[in-house]
Amino acid sequence: MSNIDDIIAALGALCLAIIIIIFGPFIGFAISYFTGWLIKITFGPTLCKGLAILGLAIVPEQLPLMCGTLGVIGSFFKSATKIKNK
């Protein structure tokens, strides 16, 4: 019985890993979109004016979508490498 339980546990872990890989970007987009919405309703026009100074013409209504997109793109460039000096 233990052998079957090990196989089921391994298949469950594999399925969970696949689900996380597939749905991870969607979850990241949703969290970033919500953050962009909060920025829009709090200080969106001020942020858009500051971005206009930098040459980016963005209206406050586009902030949630922009934040969601940048959140997904940024998540692909995260580095999990840590260097320890001994």
Parse the chain into domains and list their residue ranges.
2-72
Give the whole-angstrom CA distance, residue 21 versus residue 69. 17
pLDDT tens for each residue of 28-86: 899 999 999 999 999 999 999 999 999 988 999 999 999 999 998 888 776 555 555 65
Residue 1's pLDDT is what? 54
- Check residues 12 and 82 and name the one with the higher pLDDT: 12
**What pLDDT shows up at residue 52?**
93
Long-range contacts of 55-63 (CB under 8 A, 24+ apart): 63/36, 63/37, 63/39
Given a contact cutoff of 8 angstroms between Cβ atoms, the answer to whether 28 and 40 are in contact is no
Between CA 59 and CA 40 the distance in angstroms is 9
Question: Residues 67, 31: contact at Cβ < 8 Å?
Answer: no
